[in-house]
Amino acid sequence: MRKPNTDGLVYSTEGGRMCPLCRKPVAACICKGLASSGPVGDGTVRVSRETKGRGGKAVTIIRGLTLDAAALAALGKRLRTACGAGGTAKDGVLELQGDHCDRVIDCLKQDGWAVKRAGG
């Protein structure tokens, strides 16, 4: 037995792309305003070092940044350049290759973020 299509309208010739949640055109979507109304969590950026699942290699993890994808990528680029390391942005979390916690904390504090070192 097939499930009915519950995704809703995706495109309309009248309004263009449609938001699946509020079913309004993307340009007039009310969901974006509701989702970005406040910071997620307590507003503190947490910097930690992890080695689990990485073959013993240390990785600096930065969580709690309330930025959109473009701003997160730009901040990641600046931090990777400052640390001289590679890295990525995944699901709102920045990962830098190597143990650069102190340097990252200093850079983020200069930008005005409230930063804590997590994980000891």
61 near 93, Cβ under 8 Å?
A: yes
Q: How far apart are CA 51 and CA 99, in angstroms?
A: 10
Q: Can you give the pLDDT at residue 37? A: 47
Does this model's pTM top 0.75? My answer is no
Q: How far apart are CA 13 and CA 82, in angstroms?
A: 48
Question: Residue 112 maps to which CATH number?
Answer: 3.30.780.10
Same domain, 21 and 52: no
Q: How far apart are CA 26 and CA 24, in angstroms?
A: 6
Q: How far apart are CA 108 and CA 78, in angstroms?
A: 11
* Per-residue pLDDT tens digits of the chain, which is 120 residues long: 555 555 555 565 666 777 777 777 777 777 765 555 444 567 789 999 998 888 889 999 999 888 888 888 999 999 999 999 999 998 889 999 999 999 999 999 998 889 999 886
- Give the domain range for residue 84: 45-117
3 domain-assigned: no
Same domain, 31 and 66: no
1 domain-assigned: no
Three-state DSSP at 102 gives: helix
Q: Can you give the pLDDT at residue 19? A: 74
Same domain, 84 and 49: yes
Q: Can you give the pLDDT at residue 48? A: 93
